[in-house]
Chain A
Protein backbone atom coordinates (compact mmCIF):
# COMPACT_ATOMS: atom_id res chain seq x y z
CA UNK A 1 0.00 0.00 0.00
CA UNK A 2 1.41 3.32 -1.09
CA UNK A 3 0.69 5.16 2.13
CA UNK A 4 3.18 2.89 3.93
CA UNK A 5 5.99 4.42 1.86
CA UNK A 6 5.06 7.96 2.81
CA UNK A 7 4.50 7.94 6.54
CA UNK A 8 5.44 5.56 9.34
CA UNK A 9 2.53 3.19 10.00
CA UNK A 10 1.95 0.08 12.01
CA UNK A 11 0.08 -2.60 10.04
CA UNK A 12 -1.72 -5.50 11.58
CA UNK A 13 -3.12 -8.09 9.24
CA UNK A 14 -6.55 -9.42 10.04
CA UNK A 15 -8.57 -12.11 8.29
CA UNK A 16 -10.78 -9.57 6.53
CA UNK A 17 -7.99 -7.11 5.65
CA UNK A 18 -5.64 -5.05 7.79
CA UNK A 19 -5.59 -2.27 10.37
CA UNK A 20 -3.28 0.71 9.96
CA UNK A 21 -2.04 2.57 12.99
CA UNK A 22 -0.22 5.90 12.73
CA UNK A 23 0.08 9.31 14.38
CA UNK A 24 -2.57 11.93 13.66
CA UNK A 25 0.20 14.45 12.99
CA UNK A 26 1.57 12.26 10.24
CA UNK A 27 -1.73 11.63 8.50
CA UNK A 28 -2.73 15.27 8.87
CA UNK A 29 0.48 16.58 7.36
CA UNK A 30 0.30 14.06 4.55
CA UNK A 31 -3.27 15.09 3.75
CA UNK A 32 -2.42 18.79 3.86
CA UNK A 33 0.63 18.43 1.65
CA UNK A 34 -1.42 16.56 -0.94
CA UNK A 35 -4.15 19.17 -1.28
CA UNK A 36 -2.29 22.44 -1.76
CA UNK A 37 -4.81 24.83 -3.22
CA UNK A 38 -3.17 27.88 -4.69
CA UNK A 39 -4.34 31.38 -5.39
CA UNK A 40 -5.30 32.00 -9.00
CA UNK A 41 -3.34 35.06 -10.00
CA UNK A 42 -0.22 36.02 -11.89
CA UNK A 43 1.83 39.18 -12.16
CA UNK A 44 4.00 38.86 -15.26
CA UNK A 45 5.54 36.37 -17.68
CA UNK A 46 6.08 33.74 -14.93
CA UNK A 47 2.29 33.44 -14.88
CA UNK A 48 2.49 31.95 -18.37
CA UNK A 49 4.68 29.15 -17.04
CA UNK A 50 2.34 28.83 -14.07
CA UNK A 51 -0.58 28.38 -16.46
CA UNK A 52 1.41 25.84 -18.47
CA UNK A 53 2.09 23.94 -15.26
CA UNK A 54 -1.58 23.97 -14.40
CA UNK A 55 -2.63 22.76 -17.85
CA UNK A 56 -2.80 19.23 -19.18
CA UNK A 57 0.83 18.55 -20.12
CA UNK A 58 2.30 19.18 -16.65
CA UNK A 59 -0.95 18.99 -14.70
CA UNK A 60 -0.89 20.46 -11.21
CA UNK A 61 -4.05 18.52 -10.40
CA UNK A 62 -2.17 15.24 -10.04
CA UNK A 63 -0.42 16.74 -6.98
CA UNK A 64 -3.76 17.74 -5.56
CA UNK A 65 -3.09 21.36 -6.45
CA UNK A 66 -6.19 23.18 -7.53
CA UNK A 67 -6.47 26.90 -8.14
CA UNK A 68 -9.02 28.93 -6.26
CA UNK A 69 -9.97 32.46 -7.17
CA UNK A 70 -10.33 33.68 -3.61
CA UNK A 71 -7.64 33.96 -0.93
CA UNK A 72 -10.06 32.62 1.69
CA UNK A 73 -9.90 29.12 0.23
CA UNK A 74 -6.21 28.74 -0.53
CA UNK A 75 -3.20 27.35 1.29
CA UNK A 76 -0.53 28.56 -1.08
CA UNK A 77 0.30 31.79 -2.82
CA UNK A 78 2.57 31.43 -5.86
CA UNK A 79 4.04 34.85 -6.55
CA UNK A 80 4.55 34.47 -10.28
CA UNK A 81 6.12 37.60 -11.65
CA UNK A 82 7.41 41.08 -11.02
CA UNK A 83 6.11 42.75 -7.86
CA UNK A 84 5.87 46.50 -8.27
CA UNK A 85 5.67 48.93 -5.39
CA UNK A 86 2.12 49.69 -6.47
CA UNK A 87 1.18 46.01 -6.37
CA UNK A 88 2.96 45.23 -3.08
CA UNK A 89 0.21 46.41 -0.68
CA UNK A 90 -2.36 44.37 -2.64
CA UNK A 91 -0.22 41.24 -2.38
CA UNK A 92 0.25 41.84 1.33
CA UNK A 93 -3.51 42.14 1.70
CA UNK A 94 -4.15 38.94 -0.26
CA UNK A 95 -1.65 37.17 1.98
CA UNK A 96 -3.38 38.48 5.10
CA UNK A 97 -6.73 37.26 3.78
CA UNK A 98 -5.45 33.69 3.46
CA UNK A 99 -6.32 31.35 6.32
CA UNK A 100 -3.45 29.87 8.28
CA UNK A 101 -1.48 27.72 7.81
CA UNK A 102 -0.38 29.48 4.65
CA UNK A 103 2.60 29.19 2.38
CA UNK A 104 4.30 31.36 -0.22
CA UNK A 105 6.39 30.33 -3.19
CA UNK A 106 8.47 33.06 -4.84
CA UNK A 107 8.61 32.02 -8.47
CA UNK A 108 11.36 33.43 -10.68
CA UNK A 109 14.07 36.02 -10.29
CA UNK A 110 11.72 39.01 -9.96
CA UNK A 111 9.78 37.59 -7.03
CA UNK A 112 12.96 36.34 -5.39
CA UNK A 113 15.05 39.52 -5.60
CA UNK A 114 13.77 41.94 -8.22
CA UNK A 115 15.65 40.01 -10.89
CA UNK A 116 16.44 42.00 -14.03
CA UNK A 117 14.77 45.01 -12.42
CA UNK A 118 17.04 45.14 -9.39
CA UNK A 119 19.12 47.96 -10.87
CA UNK A 120 17.82 51.16 -12.45
CA UNK A 121 14.21 50.64 -11.46
CA UNK A 122 12.24 52.94 -9.23
CA UNK A 123 9.05 50.91 -9.30
CA UNK A 124 9.96 47.26 -8.64
CA UNK A 125 10.07 45.68 -5.21
CA UNK A 126 13.40 43.96 -4.65
CA UNK A 127 12.02 40.59 -3.63
CA UNK A 128 8.56 39.65 -2.41
CA UNK A 129 10.13 38.47 0.88
CA UNK A 130 10.22 42.12 1.90
CA UNK A 131 6.43 42.03 2.37
CA UNK A 132 5.47 38.36 2.93
CA UNK A 133 7.42 35.41 4.38
CA UNK A 134 8.57 33.07 1.63
CA UNK A 135 8.85 29.29 2.04
CA UNK A 136 10.38 28.28 -1.28
CA UNK A 137 12.33 30.29 -3.84
CA UNK A 138 12.44 29.10 -7.42
CA UNK A 139 15.22 30.61 -9.56
CA UNK A 140 14.84 31.14 -13.27
CA UNK A 141 13.60 33.72 -15.73
CA UNK A 142 11.09 32.33 -16.16
CA UNK A 143 11.38 28.94 -14.43
CA UNK A 144 10.20 26.07 -16.59
CA UNK A 145 7.19 24.08 -15.37
CA UNK A 146 9.55 21.35 -14.18
CA UNK A 147 11.23 23.88 -11.89
CA UNK A 148 7.90 25.05 -10.53
CA UNK A 149 6.85 21.45 -9.90
CA UNK A 150 10.15 20.83 -8.12
CA UNK A 151 9.48 23.88 -5.95
CA UNK A 152 6.01 22.63 -5.10
CA UNK A 153 7.37 19.18 -4.24
CA UNK A 154 9.93 20.85 -1.98
CA UNK A 155 7.14 22.71 -0.22
CA UNK A 156 5.18 19.49 0.13
CA UNK A 157 8.18 17.85 1.79
CA UNK A 158 8.36 20.79 4.17
CA UNK A 159 4.68 20.50 5.04
CA UNK A 160 5.01 16.76 5.65
CA UNK A 161 7.55 17.47 8.37
CA UNK A 162 5.23 19.84 10.20
CA UNK A 163 3.55 18.66 13.37
CA UNK A 164 0.33 20.59 13.64
CA UNK A 165 -1.04 18.93 16.79
CA UNK A 166 2.05 18.42 18.91
CA UNK A 167 3.31 21.85 17.91
CA UNK A 168 6.97 20.88 17.93
CA UNK A 169 7.76 22.07 14.49
CA UNK A 170 9.99 25.08 14.11
CA UNK A 171 9.39 25.80 10.48
CA UNK A 172 5.70 26.39 11.17
CA UNK A 173 6.59 28.92 13.83
CA UNK A 174 8.90 30.69 11.38
CA UNK A 175 6.14 30.81 8.86
CA UNK A 176 3.81 32.70 11.16
CA UNK A 177 6.23 35.51 11.75
CA UNK A 178 5.38 38.48 9.61
Chain B
Protein backbone atom coordinates (compact mmCIF):
# COMPACT_ATOMS: atom_id res chain seq x y z
CA UNK B 1 0.00 0.00 0.00
CA UNK B 2 1.42 3.35 -1.06
CA UNK B 3 1.70 6.24 1.35
CA UNK B 4 -1.04 8.13 -0.49
CA UNK B 5 -3.41 5.18 -0.12
CA UNK B 6 -2.63 5.00 3.57
CA UNK B 7 -3.43 8.69 3.95
CA UNK B 8 -6.72 8.18 2.13
CA UNK B 9 -7.58 5.34 4.47
CA UNK B 10 -6.53 7.39 7.51
CA UNK B 11 -8.74 10.27 6.39
CA UNK B 12 -11.68 7.93 5.97
CA UNK B 13 -11.33 6.04 9.25
CA UNK B 14 -9.86 8.79 11.43
CA UNK B 15 -11.09 12.10 10.08
CA UNK B 16 -9.61 14.13 12.93
CA UNK B 17 -6.04 13.05 12.13
CA UNK B 18 -4.20 15.39 9.80
CA UNK B 19 -1.61 13.52 7.76
CA UNK B 20 0.18 14.53 4.60
CA UNK B 21 2.94 13.31 2.34
CA UNK B 22 6.23 14.78 3.49
CA UNK B 23 7.80 17.25 1.11
CA UNK B 24 11.21 15.64 1.31
CA UNK B 25 10.33 12.11 0.42
CA UNK B 26 7.32 10.66 -1.33
CA UNK B 27 7.06 7.64 0.93
CA UNK B 28 7.00 9.44 4.29
CA UNK B 29 3.86 10.59 6.05
CA UNK B 30 4.11 13.68 8.17
CA UNK B 31 1.96 13.89 11.27
CA UNK B 32 1.12 16.30 14.01
CA UNK B 33 2.72 15.40 17.28
CA UNK B 34 -0.66 15.00 18.97
CA UNK B 35 -1.87 12.49 16.38
CA UNK B 36 1.11 10.17 16.55
CA UNK B 37 -0.11 7.65 19.13
CA UNK B 38 -3.56 7.31 17.55
CA UNK B 39 -2.10 6.87 14.09
CA UNK B 40 0.48 4.26 15.04
CA UNK B 41 -2.11 2.28 16.99
CA UNK B 42 -4.54 2.49 14.09
CA UNK B 43 -1.94 1.41 11.52
CA UNK B 44 -1.03 -1.54 13.72
CA UNK B 45 -4.57 -2.76 14.34
CA UNK B 46 -6.17 -1.99 11.00
CA UNK B 47 -6.64 -5.09 8.84
CA UNK B 48 -5.66 -3.29 5.65
CA UNK B 49 -2.39 -1.79 6.86
CA UNK B 50 -1.28 -4.11 9.68
CA UNK B 51 1.98 -2.31 10.46
CA UNK B 52 2.67 -4.58 13.40
CA UNK B 53 6.39 -3.97 13.84
CA UNK B 54 8.40 -0.83 14.62
CA UNK B 55 11.52 -1.35 12.56
CA UNK B 56 13.42 1.61 13.93
CA UNK B 57 13.09 5.12 15.22
CA UNK B 58 15.55 7.98 15.03
CA UNK B 59 15.91 11.72 15.19
CA UNK B 60 17.45 14.19 12.75
CA UNK B 61 18.65 17.67 13.63
CA UNK B 62 17.90 20.11 10.82
CA UNK B 63 19.31 23.07 12.78
CA UNK B 64 15.91 24.86 12.77
CA UNK B 65 13.88 21.85 13.91
CA UNK B 66 14.27 18.29 15.10
CA UNK B 67 12.42 15.52 13.30
CA UNK B 68 11.71 12.08 14.66
CA UNK B 69 11.20 9.38 12.09
CA UNK B 70 9.46 6.06 12.67
CA UNK B 71 9.94 3.19 10.23
CA UNK B 72 7.06 0.77 10.50
CA UNK B 73 7.01 -2.68 8.98
CA UNK B 74 4.14 -4.96 8.13
CA UNK B 75 4.88 -8.65 8.35
CA UNK B 76 1.62 -9.53 6.70
CA UNK B 77 2.15 -7.38 3.59
CA UNK B 78 5.94 -7.13 3.75
CA UNK B 79 5.79 -3.36 3.42
CA UNK B 80 7.45 -0.42 5.08
CA UNK B 81 6.18 3.02 5.97
CA UNK B 82 7.94 6.07 7.33
CA UNK B 83 6.17 8.40 9.73
CA UNK B 84 7.62 11.77 10.60
CA UNK B 85 6.92 14.35 13.30
CA UNK B 86 8.51 17.78 13.45
CA UNK B 87 9.46 19.06 16.87
CA UNK B 88 10.46 22.36 18.37
CA UNK B 89 14.26 22.35 18.62
CA UNK B 90 14.29 24.30 21.87
CA UNK B 91 11.98 21.87 23.60
CA UNK B 92 11.68 18.63 21.62
CA UNK B 93 8.95 16.52 23.20
CA UNK B 94 6.89 13.72 21.75
CA UNK B 95 4.79 10.92 23.18
CA UNK B 96 6.52 7.58 23.74
CA UNK B 97 5.45 4.64 21.60
CA UNK B 98 6.19 2.14 24.38
CA UNK B 99 2.52 1.53 25.06
CA UNK B 100 1.98 0.40 21.45
CA UNK B 101 5.38 -1.05 20.46
CA UNK B 102 7.30 -1.97 23.64
CA UNK B 103 10.44 -2.39 21.53
CA UNK B 104 10.52 1.37 21.01
CA UNK B 105 12.00 1.81 24.47
CA UNK B 106 15.69 1.44 23.60
CA UNK B 107 15.35 3.39 20.36
CA UNK B 108 13.77 6.26 22.21
CA UNK B 109 16.50 6.19 24.81
CA UNK B 110 19.05 6.47 22.00
CA UNK B 111 17.28 9.45 20.45
CA UNK B 112 17.06 11.02 23.90
CA UNK B 113 20.74 10.34 24.56
CA UNK B 114 22.09 11.78 21.32
CA UNK B 115 19.50 14.42 20.37
CA UNK B 116 17.79 15.30 23.63
CA UNK B 117 14.32 14.39 22.43
CA UNK B 118 12.11 13.90 25.46
CA UNK B 119 9.67 11.00 25.10
CA UNK B 120 6.73 11.61 27.37
CA UNK B 121 5.49 8.72 29.54
CA UNK B 122 8.51 6.59 28.61
CA UNK B 123 8.95 4.02 31.42
CA UNK B 124 12.73 4.48 31.81
CA UNK B 125 14.06 7.46 29.88
CA UNK B 126 17.79 7.75 30.60
CA UNK B 127 21.00 7.72 28.59
CA UNK B 128 21.80 4.44 26.84
CA UNK B 129 25.18 4.98 25.10
CA UNK B 130 26.89 7.95 26.74
CA UNK B 131 27.92 7.92 30.41
CA UNK B 132 25.09 8.86 32.76
CA UNK B 133 26.76 12.08 33.85
CA UNK B 134 27.38 13.28 30.28
CA UNK B 135 26.24 16.80 29.52
CA UNK B 136 24.72 17.83 26.23
CA UNK B 137 23.48 15.89 23.21
CA UNK B 138 26.38 14.94 20.94
CA UNK B 139 24.57 14.48 17.63
CA UNK B 140 23.14 17.98 17.61
CA UNK B 141 24.53 20.26 14.92
CA UNK B 142 25.76 22.89 17.36
CA UNK B 143 27.35 20.45 19.81
CA UNK B 144 30.80 21.25 21.12
CA UNK B 145 33.00 19.45 23.62
CA UNK B 146 36.54 19.91 24.88
CA UNK B 147 37.50 16.53 23.41
CA UNK B 148 36.05 17.38 20.01
CA UNK B 149 38.69 18.60 17.56
CA UNK B 150 37.43 19.49 14.11
CA UNK B 151 39.37 18.15 11.17
CA UNK B 152 41.25 20.98 9.45
CA UNK B 153 40.05 21.88 5.98
CA UNK B 154 42.19 20.19 3.35
CA UNK B 155 43.43 22.10 0.32
Please report A residues at the B interface, Cβ cutoff 8 Å. 85-86, 118-126
Contact = CB atoms under 8 A, between A and B. Distances in A.
10 contacts: A85-B131, A119-B152, A120-B148, A120-B150, A121-B148, A122-B145, A123-B130, A123-B138, A124-B147, A126-B147
A110 to B, nearest CB: 14
A24 to B, nearest CB: 47
Contacts of A123: 130, 138, 147
B12 interface: no
B147 A86 contact: no
Nearest to A88: B131
Contacts of A121: 147-148
B149 interface: yes
A114 to B, nearest CB: 9
Nearest to B146: A122
Contact of A86 (B130, B143, B149): B130
Interface of B is mostly: loop
B137 to A, nearest CB: 11
A119 B151 contact: yes
Contacts of A118: 149
A125 B149 CA distance: 12
A124 B151 CA distance: 14
Nearest to A118: B149
B130 A119 contact: no
A119 B131 contact: no
Contacts of B151: 119-120
A125 B150 CA distance: 15
5 closest Cβ pairs, A-B complex: A119-B151, A122-B145, A122-B148, A86-B131, A122-B138
Nearest to A86: B131
Contacts of B145: 122
Interface string B120-155: 000000000011000000100001010111111000
A70 B148 CA distance: 33
Contacts of B152: 119
B143 A119 contact: no
B138 to A, nearest CB: 5
A85 B131 CA distance: 9
Contacts of A124: 147
A124 B145 CA distance: 12
A86 B145 CA distance: 14
A56 to B, nearest CB: 37
A143 B151 CA distance: 24
